[in-house]
């Protein structure tokens, strides 16, 4: 159902926004770069924060959730979706591309742009820090080795960092100590890739706690630049818009708007609540979440 052919009853004037999908808040750091690079496009962000973090989940669950999210974004009129979440990009991207990709719909990830940026910058040894699921997939290593097989790559899982940022404690001593412990697991790297969209909020700690000859690499600008180049070749997937932004979240909408501003670097518009109904993510008013014992 190409959105221009439908007479949508939705009150939203946006026809063909760029979809940006993440398990939670983190992808707003990618959206921020996209809006900086291509401010004239319309964007629709989906943060699956009610079910975040994805990093400790099994593969089937990541596939299921990512299908639901991508289907929601296409149903809202997107023709291209940027999967900002490294966990989804590393595990489910090819599945999503096989299942939903077509001449009219595309799904792009962050792992290949991250690998290209890192391989282009390294002197021989790349460090990569991400969630447990991202690291277990070894997809970053696979992609980097396709580009340059002789590069050495060390991947470290940092399961506590995303929860620390979700808690809003990224400027605390707790965050510094946690970054320090994870950074200490690397040895001899010259480039450190922040392989989770939450970690750019810890960039200062990473910069201070890595040796001065290690470049800390936030892939988000590279993702945005790659998207800009891709769009020049595929303009129909993301036509000129008015710079509008809609945000959907499966978590608490008010919380998402409040915390999200730290990630986006500006205030968010009113966040619309989505929830799973019969295996699909549907727009639905909040406050329907039950309190106390639930009997179904």
Q: Are 23 and 83 in contact (CB under 8 A)?
A: no
Comparison of 66 and 218: residue with beta carbon closer to a copy of itself: 66
* Helix or strand (DSSP H, E) at 228: helix 220-233
Question: Per residue in 90-106, is it b (16+ CB within 10 Å) or e — as a string?
Answer: bbbbebbbeebeeeebb
- The candidate with the shortest Cα–Cα distance to 282, out of 273, 290, 291, 292, is 273
> Which DSSP string do the residues of 111-161 spell out, in sequence order?
HHHHHHHHHHH-SSEEEEEE-HHHHHHTHHHHHHHHH-TT-EEEEEE-TTH
Residue 285 touching a copy of itself (CB under 8 A): no
- State the Cα–Cα distance between residues 143 and 94, nearest whole angstrom: 13
Among 275, 283, 284, 286, binds a copy of itself (CB under 8 A): 275
Name which of 167 and 208 has its Cβ closer to a copy of itself: 167
- Considering the rule CB under 8 A, would residue 114 count as an interface residue with a copy of itself? no
Site string for a copy of itself, 30-59 (x = CB under 8 A): --------------------xxxx--xxxx
Question: Does 72 engage in binding with a copy of itself (CB under 8 A)?
Answer: no
Task: Show the binding pattern over residues 165-184: x = contacts a copy of itself (CB under 8 A), - = does not.
Answer: -xx-x--xxx--xx--x---
> Could you tell me which stretch among 8-16, 93-101, 147-155, 183-191 binds a copy of itself (CB under 8 A)?
93-101
Q: Which residues within the stretch 219-248 sit at the binding site for a copy of itself (CB under 8 A)?
A: none
Whichever of 52 and 264 has its CB closer to a copy of itself, that residue is 52
Edge to edge, the sheet with strand 191-194 lists: 152-157, 125-130, 191-194, 215-217
Judged by CB under 8 A, does residue 215 bind a copy of itself?
no
- Residue 244: CA count within 13 A, CB half-sphere: 15
**Which residues make up the interface to a copy of itself (CB under 8 A)?**
50-53, 56-61, 63, 90-95, 98, 136-139, 142, 159-160, 163-164, 166-167, 169, 172-174, 177-178, 181, 250, 275-276, 289-296
């Amino acid at each position: 159902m190409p959105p221009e052919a439908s007479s949508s009853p939705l009150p939203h004037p946006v026809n063909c926004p760029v979809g940006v999908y993440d398990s939670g808040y983190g992808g707003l750091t990618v959206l921020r770069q996209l809006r900086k690079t291509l401010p004239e496009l319309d964007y629709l962000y989906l943060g699956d924060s009610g079910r975040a973090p994805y990093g400790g989940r099994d593969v089937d669950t990541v596939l299921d959730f990512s299908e639901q999210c991508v289907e929601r974004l296409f149903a809202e009129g997107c023709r291209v979706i940027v999967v900002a979440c490294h966990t989804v990009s590393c595990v489910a991207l090819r599945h999503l591309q096989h299942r939903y990709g077509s001449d009219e719909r595309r799904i792009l990830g962050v792992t290949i742009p991250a690998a290209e940026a890192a391989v282009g910058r390294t002197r021989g040894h790349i460090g990569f820090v991400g969630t447990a699921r991202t690291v277990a997939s070894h997809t970053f290593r696979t992609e980097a080795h396709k580009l340059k097989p002789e590069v050495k790559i060390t991947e470290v899982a940092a399961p506590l960092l995303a929860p620390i940022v979700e808690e809003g404690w990224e400027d605390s001593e707790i965050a510094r100590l946690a970054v320090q412990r994870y950074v200490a697991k690397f040895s001899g790297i010259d480039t450190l890739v922040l392989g989770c969209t939450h970690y750019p909020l810890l960039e200062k700690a990473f910069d201070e706690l890595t040796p001065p000859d290690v470049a800390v690499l936030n892939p988000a600008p590279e993702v945005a630049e790659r998207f800009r180049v891709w769009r020049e070749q595929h303009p129909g997937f993301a036509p000129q818009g008015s710079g509008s932004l809609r945000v959907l979240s499966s978590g608490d909408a008010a919380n998402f708007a409040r915390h999200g501003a730290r990630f986006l670097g500006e205030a968010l518009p009113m966040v619309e609540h989505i929830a799973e109904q019969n295996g699909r993510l549907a727009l639905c008013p909040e406050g329907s979440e039950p309190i106390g014992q639930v009997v179904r």
